[in-house]
Amino acid sequence: MQTVRDIAEVLGGYAKANPADIAKLGECSDWPALAKWEQTRRAARLLELFDDQTVAAIASGEIDLQTLCQEAAAGQKGAR
């Protein structure tokens, strides 16, 4: 995980390249909600790996992707 210092460095670089934008972003108070949306967006990208029928099966609950992800994670821990 990036530290607060790391984040500050990223923002400093962004500020140099985009001074007007960083000022606007400094007015934004909804960062926790935006971060939750970003987590959802990133998780949804996994669905791009599957064909339409598989996505439909996940949507209907026929395939439990949460359980399959948990099993895959457990398998990785066991392989270490």
Query: How many other CB atoms are there within 10 angstroms of residue 20's CB atom?
Result: 8
Q: Residue ranges of the domains in the chain?
A: 1-48, 50-80
Per-residue pLDDT of the chain (80 residues; tens, 9 = 90+): 999 999 999 999 999 999 999 999 999 999 999 999 999 999 999 999 999 999 999 999 999 999 999 999 999 988 87
The label of the residue with tokens 């909804």 reads 30
Specify the pTM.
0.74
